[in-house]
Structure 1
Amino acid sequence: MRETIQGKCWNCGAGLGAHDYGRETNCLGCAKPTRVCRNCRWYDPAATDRCREPTAEPVMHKERPTYCEHFEPTDDPARGAGDAPDALRQAAEDLFRS
């Protein structure tokens, strides 16, 4: 029996099951760590410390493995994709166009 997909990799979008979110587990598709802020349902690039969980301790590196007790896998890690420097620069330039 095949395991149900629980979420997606923040980097490549590969499907991840519950066993794929260990502290030292990497994605089979791209070898990036999976238990990271970018793969968490609380991750939000627009929020303070990029986390919507108010009691979570700040994590500096959102793409490195975390011990955060509030970690919950998300099936929509792409929502953080817009925080790339080029996208932010373009958004700022669009604000000041006449």
Structure 2
Amino acid sequence: MNCWHCAIKIEVIAGMDRVGFRDECPGCGRAMHSCRNCGFYDPAYNNSCRETMAERVVDKERFNFCEYFAPGDAAAKPPAKTKAGAQGKLEALFKKKS
């Protein structure tokens, strides 16, 4: 699986290893057992989860005790470091014309 935050590859052997409820990413220290690292995580679904029996989790980036957690295999993208691109587009949109 890949960490949702830093995109580091984390070796999890299917059927052998389980991601513990309190395990942390060796790269960034973020929660590994979180919705963002789960294979069922999908923002397009109700509660951002494709597993219909899972209980609602409010903070998708923190540790949780969901029993349906399955390590995700989607490639993660590192988070944007700055908002300069979006800020620049917003300023250009509302720029006063002389």
| 1:12 maps to 2:10 | no
Unaligned residue ranges in structure 1 (runs of 5+): 1-6, 87-98
| TM-score, normalised with respect to structure 2 | 0.68
- The structure with higher relative contact order (CA 8 Å, sep 6+) is 2
| 1:24 maps to 2:28 | no
> Shift in Å at residue 20 of structure 1?
7.5
Identity percentage of aligned residues: 40
| Residue among 35, 41, 47 paired with 1:49 | 47
Contact kept, 8 Å, 1:38 with 1:77, in 2: the verdict is no
Query: What is the alpha-carbon distance in structure 1 between the residues aligned to residue 3 and residue 48 of structure 2?
Result: 18
> Shift in Å at residue 38 of structure 1?
0.4
Q: Equivalences for 1:1-98 in 2 at 5 Å?
A: 7-18=1-12, 21-76=19-74, 78=76
- Count residues with an aligned counterpart: 75
Unaligned residue ranges in structure 2 (runs of 5+): 80-85, 87-98
Provide the aligned C-alpha RMSD in A. 2.0
Contact kept, 8 Å, 1:20 with 1:27, in 2: the verdict is no
Give SS of 1:15's match: coil
Higher helix share: 1
Give SS of 1:49's match: helix
Contact kept, 8 Å, 1:20 with 1:26, in 2: the verdict is no
Higher strand share: 1
Deviations 1:12-42 (A, max 9, x none): 1111123572111111111111110000010
